[in-house]
Amino acid sequence: MSCLKSRPKLSRSEELLRYAKSQEEIQMNLKLLGLENDRDLQFLLQGGDLLKVCSSSWKKTRYFRLMEDCKTMFRESKRIFKTSKTFSVDEISAVRMGRQSDGLRKNTEENVESRCFSIMFKGRRKNLDLIASSEDEARQWVDSLQKILSRLNNLSTQAKTEHWIFSCLRKSDKNKDDKLSLSELNNFMHLINIEVDDDYAEMLFEKCDNSNSGYLAGEEIKHFYDLLTHREEIDVIYGEYAKTSGFMSPQNLVDFLKKEQREDATLADAHNIIQNHEPDENAKEKKLLSKDGFLMYMRHPEALVLNPDHREVYQDMDQPLNHYFISSSHNTYLMEDQLQGPSSTEAYVRALLKGCRCVELDCWDGSEGEPEIYHGYTLTSKILFKDAIKAIKEYAFKTSDYPVILSLENHCSVKQQEVMAHHMSSILGSALVTSPLGDGMPKCFPSPEELKGKFLIKGKRLNKLEATFAPDNTEDDEEDVTEEEESDDEDQGQEKKKEKKKLKLAKALSDMVVYCKSVHFHGFEDARQHLSFYEMSSFKENKALELAAESANAYIHHNVEKLSRIYPAGSRTNSSNYSPVPLWSAGCQVVALNFQTTCTDMDVNQGRFLINGKSGYVLKPAYMRDPASEFDPVTLTRGDWLQHKTLHIMVISGQQLPKLSKKKSSIVDPLVRVEVYGVPDDNAEEKTSAIDNNGFNPEWNENMEFNVHVPELALVRFTVEDHDSATSNEFVGQYTLPFNSLRMGYRHVPLLNKNGDVLPSAGLFVYIMVTDAN
């Protein structure tokens, strides 16, 4: 067995030099973050011991600190030979004080509540549950981590790029001498996802090595950075309008905004842009916009592809609830698949923070008289009903103020149903709607505006709502079955139906159902004649898609008056999804998807609800709210919905696309796919060619054209893929938005990863034009 060699001990002078270098790196990064001399950041950089909790019996001390790049957390084990680990601050979704995670509630006692906190990660990575030595120390960790998270998230695109490139340069400088040799330069190129041939790398190196020393330092590295980040396409656009001594005057800028960007801009707008985005104080004083200022403005959120007006709530929110598409989740409690995946309150938190407004609770009798939530007859783990309600209460209105629907899948005994009613009443309090708004029997739904901050219960009810206003309030003796059992009716004969076991319903729970009473669907004509507006049916995806294809206009009329909920087929045990687009086109409002699953369908769903302030409510087009509507998305007869447009897109370039593999040799070969989703006649896609070995600054300059007949229902999706001729292309990033929220002209398109989180610095640069079709 070979002996283990320890690192050679550094001399005192070497230690001092290394310390000075690390302090220099820290100060440079703190300056980029605007956090010099910040007490919270100094605390993180110093770090400290925390107790990591994995189970009731596994609690180990670990040392945590923020590394010199100010975006990587270092975790050191106390065990000899145990490998230390790191994780990026970019991977953190939230830091929460107290025993808010399932793990801390299960594995710790209440007396350590004030010392606990959790680091929640994006995607499916497990939480990091920690205990500090005191309440003050726990609060210091939480406040400090939240501060750096906020600062990194709010950096400008330019600052994010500079921070990232600076970090890559530091990593490439292997001997930490603040100089880059040719081999270190090649290492840097691989880190930023670009591969160039040796001759080109050497040419770049020699062009910057003004001192002929064989390495780059100081201004030479800056020159190399400028050459690398130079964007010729921006030069061309800027040069066309920079008519005032090589700069853009306010009038030059107005000309650009009107002609290219199709904006109704004024000189006052131009002055504001210069004031807010020009980095050169001399140019700003002369009221001129430099090329750097122009690029900073073009990458600012107000100039991106999404109409900035649509980032806020801009639609009429005073229409009845059923006049909106509603962001909705299925099996919300699951983190993964429906057979043995974990159930977690964190799943509710994630869905709600994504703007979901309808969550599902699959309720079963639990031990000690407490109802539980899990996927019945499977090996999924269980959570307490009351813990789910607490989490929903805490996070329901963080992203949106508009109402949340709790869709109850009730399998509980009467006794535990009463416990459910008690928990909802005591935890949700006055925010829970338990009687109709206003006086007397309502004739239609209240609006999202009227229901702000409120919870609605969707479930079975013992009688009609009208009965509560009648002198002889009687209960219906109706058979009560769950959503899954209702869907089984499609394939079962009468004998099987008779064998169904009646589920008794607790009056306390029944009375909480006001505007969303679950009922069987027996056809559109039966619903029109016998169902009240608040009685809603749930449709399994196959049945719903069949109705949307064969009876779309009847479906639209049904949804003008009532709510419809669609949910995935039971065969989707891996929690996969279906396309929500045909169901939106049929006017269905509550189209429930598995939020825990990353896929194209989920991306499209998030694109639909990207607008209107991410409120989770999007107003349906007028022709889908009209009781006399003749709209049919399949046949597309003449009507107001037909507004035939031609969408012209030039995919120009990409910026800082992420590496998909940590292998040094792995470089992305990107291509861009653009898709239109909408009514059947509008569905289309085109793609660019692939660019070899360049994820840093690929250029395509390729044109695409799409015909869009019903723009109000259309969505546009930009996807970047890593081309592979032997296997399927690998997903790099995407961005989906409604067609009517596109902005024309030269626009940057941000990119989101599989989990729907923004990829820092990454994006596409495109030119968009929408014209009336001939």
Q: Is 722 annotated as a binding residue?
A: yes
CA nearest neighbour of 411 among 362, 445, 444, 477:
362
Ramachandran angles phi, psi of 104, nearest 5°: -70, -35
Pairwise CA distance, residues 256 & 238, whole Å: 9
Q: Is 220 annotated as a binding residue?
A: no
Burial of 362 (0-12, 13-18, 19+ CB in 10 A): buried
Q: Is 721 annotated as a binding residue?
A: no
DSSP β-ladder status, 745-752 and 758-772:
antiparallel
Both tokens of residue 620?
């349906």
Q: Which residues contact 115 (CB under 8 A, 6 or more apart)?
A: 131, 132, 133, 134, 135, 137, 138
Q: Is 409 annotated as a binding residue?
A: yes
Exposure string over 301-323, b if 16+ CB within 10 A, otherwise e:
eebbbbeeebbebebebebbbbb
Inter-axis angle of helices 541-550 and 552-561, nearest 10: 110
Q: Is 360 annotated as a binding residue?
A: yes
321 in helix, strand or coil? helix
| Identified catalytic residue from 163, 375, 558, 748 | 375
Catalytic residue status for 375? yes
| Identified catalytic residue from 277, 310, 323, 330 | 330
CA nearest neighbour of 311 among 743, 773, 770:
743
Q: Which residues contact 357 (CB under 8 A, 6 or more apart)?
A: 326, 327, 328, 400, 402, 403, 404, 405, 616, 617
Q: Is 538 annotated as a binding residue?
A: yes
Ramachandran angles phi, psi of 45, nearest 5°: -65, -35
Is the C-alpha dihedral spanning 244, 250, 256, 259 positive or negative? negative
Residue reference for tokens 């995407």: 734
DSSP β-ladder status, 324-329 and 383-384:
unpaired
Q: Is 362 annotated as a binding residue?
A: yes
Pairwise CA distance, residues 311 & 314, whole Å: 8
Q: Which residues contact 647 (CB under 8 A, 6 or more apart)?
A: 676, 705, 706, 707, 708, 716, 739, 742, 768, 769, 770
DSSP string spanning 38-55? -HHHHHHHH-EEEEEESS
CB atoms within 10 A of CB 407: 26
650 in helix, strand or coil? strand
Q: Is 177 annotated as a binding residue?
A: no
Is the C-alpha dihedral spanning 505, 507, 513, 517 positive or negative? positive
Catalytic residue status for 230? no
Ramachandran angles phi, psi of 166, nearest 5°: -60, -40
CB atoms within 10 A of CB 81: 6
- E-assigned strand segments in 507-610: 516-518, 535-540, 564-567, 590-593
Is 304:342 a contact under the CB 8 Å cutoff?
A: no
Q: What is the DSSP letter of 373?
A: E
Pairwise CA distance, residues 147 & 330, whole Å: 34
Q: Is 724 annotated as a binding residue?
A: yes
Residue 687 CA: distances (Å) to CA of 190, 594, 705, 766? 26, 28, 11, 13
Pairwise CA distance, residues 575 & 360, whole Å: 14
Is the C-alpha dihedral spanning 540, 546, 552, 555 positive or negative? negative
Pairwise CA distance, residues 583 & 597, whole Å: 19
CA 716 to chain centre: 17
Residue type, 772: D
Q: Identify any residues that bridge with 617 across adjacent strands, giving them in sequence order.
A: 326
Binding site per annotation, positions for Ca(2+):
331, 360, 362, 409, 667, 669, 693, 722, 724
Binding site per annotation, positions:
331, 360, 362, 409, 458, 460, 538, 565, 667, 669, 693, 722, 724
Binding site per annotation, positions for substrate:
458, 460, 538, 565
| Residues annotated as part of the active site | 330, 375
